[in-house]
Structure 1
Amino acid sequence: LILTIPAVFLASDFRYQLKKRKILDGYISKAQIRRQFLLRIGSHVLLYAVLTVVITQTIERPFWQMLLAIFAILTPLYFISEWIIRRDGKRDPDYISDVEVARFVRQKGTSQWNTYSSDKHV
């Protein structure tokens, strides 16, 4: 039952990444969209798989020990995956972050992609 919580997160994030992919379709190439999509989904699938293993290995222990193991293992993995994604974004001038997509969705009526970097295929 406890594994359904991250599964729901993974499913909702997958839906978000599909929406993000659709939004980016007119702004960057299909290869870049696919690469960004696979990198983000891949990192979340990896984190979910590790969480599943940690939970199944610590299920017999007290809840606080399970929670401690989850945080001790997943926190560094999460920050490493985010660092890799950000590093990839800095290398690619056409990288569009989740923050930029959220900003675009909020300003949906505008015809320009509002970002901090210069002309991203507007």
Structure 2
Amino acid sequence: MGFFDWYLKCIKGHYADFEGRARRTEYWMFFLVNLIISIVVGLIGRAIHFHMLGSLYGLAMFVPGLAVGVRRLHDTGRSGWWWLVALIPLIGWIWIIVLFAIAGDQGSNQYGADPKEGVA
């Protein structure tokens, strides 16, 4: 699966899906493609003198970004409410990045089946 396919999977298949689990690859590929698209959209917005274009894109991507983050936390066995840790200045964002980077639980957990089980 290509890196853009991971992005499309989050947009098309799981836009506002806060249930289940997301692999590290799914979260980080979504993050990477979203970052690249955000930069491009921001540059296009500046070029056409419509500076709100980047903000509109960010608003459209808020829900799927939050949803894939919640599913990623579910993969590590944590509730989606752990996202609120990011509200703690500096330390919160570092801790969230660590949580998103650690390996998920092997096998099923309370949030669903292991997303890696079907991958060979």
- Normalising TM by the smaller chain, what interval? 0.3 to 0.5
Kindly indicate which of the two structures has a greater share of residues assigned to helix.
1
- Relative to the length of structure 1, the TM-score reads 0.42
- Relative to the length of structure 2, the TM-score reads 0.42
Higher-RCO chain (CA-CA 8 Å, sequence separation at least 6): 2
Larger Rg: 1
